[in-house]
Amino acid sequence: MPSCAMDDATADSLLGGQVSLRQPQKGHRAGSDAVLLAAAAAVQPGQTVVDVGASTGAVGLMVAARERQARFVFVERDPGLASLCRQNCDANGIDATVVEVDVLDAAARLAAGLQAESADLVLTNPPFLEEGKARLSPDRARAAAHALPAGGLEAWIKACLNLLKPKGRLVLIHRADRLADCLDAMKGRFGGISVRFVHPAENQPAIRLILSAKKGSRAPMTILPPVVLHDSDGRFTPFAAALHRGEALLT
C-alpha cells in the first residue's frame, strides 16, 4: 500500500476553527462526510471511541472537541496519513492512540494492540468502492482511500463488530445506494439500526446515508428525518451550516 506524500499537506480547520487539521493537498480530504459522521456520534465521558479508517483524524477529532473525557483510538493503514493523524492529535491537545494497521487483517489488529470488544463506539467512513465493481482513480492515494477488495464492505463491518463491546454502537456513513449492502453485512450481528439519508438539495435523491447500529441488539430499525445540505441557491441550509460550525448534532 503506497504511503501518501505529506510534503504538500495543507493547514485547515473544521467546526468553525474548533479543530485544526493538516491533510494532504491531493487525495482524500475531510469534508461534509466527516462532519456529518462526527455529528451523529453520541459519546459519553469515559467511553472508548475508535475511529476506523481515520485518515488524518478529522472525525475523531471533531468528536473529541465536544467530549474530551472520552478515550480516542485512531486506526489508519497508510503510514503518511497515520503520521499526520498523530500530529493533528497533538496540535488539538488530544491524548489519543494512533494505530497504524489494516483493520481487515485480524492478526495484524491484535498484534498492533487493538483488542476485541474494547470499544464503546466505533465510527467509520468505509472506502465507498470495491475492486471489480467500479472504476478507480488513477491517483494511487485517492484510489487506496476509496476502494476495498471485492466483498470488503462486509469484512470491514465485521472488523468493526470485533472491536465493539457487547451492546456497543457502530456509526458509519456511506453512499445511499449501498444501504442494502450495509444491512446485509449487519444481519444477525447488529440491531437497533437507525438510518438517516442525506440529500444534496430538497427534491433531489439521497447521496449518503448515516447508519447507527447496536451490537447484539434485536430492536427494530428506525428511519430518521433526512438532512438536506443545500438550498436553491447552492448554499448550506441553516441546519447544515450549523452542523459544519459544530453548533448542531444528529444524535
The domain spanning residue 238 has which CATH number?
Answer: 3.40.50.150
Question: Which residue range is the domain that position 22 belongs to?
Answer: 10-245
Q: Does residue 3 lie within any of the structural domains?
A: no
Per the CB < 8 A criterion, the answer to whether 250 and 208 are in contact is no
Q: What stretches in the chain show pLDDT beneath 70?
A: 1-7, 131-147, 150
Q: Does residue 195 lie within any of the structural domains?
A: yes
Q: Does residue 73 lie within any of the structural domains?
A: yes
**CA 66 to chain CA centroid, nearest Å:** 17
Sequence-distant contacts of 135-144: CB under 8 A, at least 24 apart: 139/26, 139/27, 140/2, 141/2, 141/4, 141/5, 141/24, 141/26, 141/27, 141/28, 141/78, 142/26, 142/27, 142/28, 144/1, 144/2, 144/78
pTM score, whole prediction: 0.91
Q: Does residue 251 lie within any of the structural domains?
A: no
Q: Does residue 30 lie within any of the structural domains?
A: yes
Q: Does residue 2 lie within any of the structural domains?
A: no
CB contact set of 194 (below 8 Å; sequence gap of 6+): 211, 212, 213, 221, 222, 223, 224
At 80-118, the pLDDT tens digits run 999 999 999 999 999 999 999 999 999 999 999 999 999
Q: Does residue 112 lie within any of the structural domains?
A: yes
Q: Does residue 4 lie within any of the structural domains?
A: no
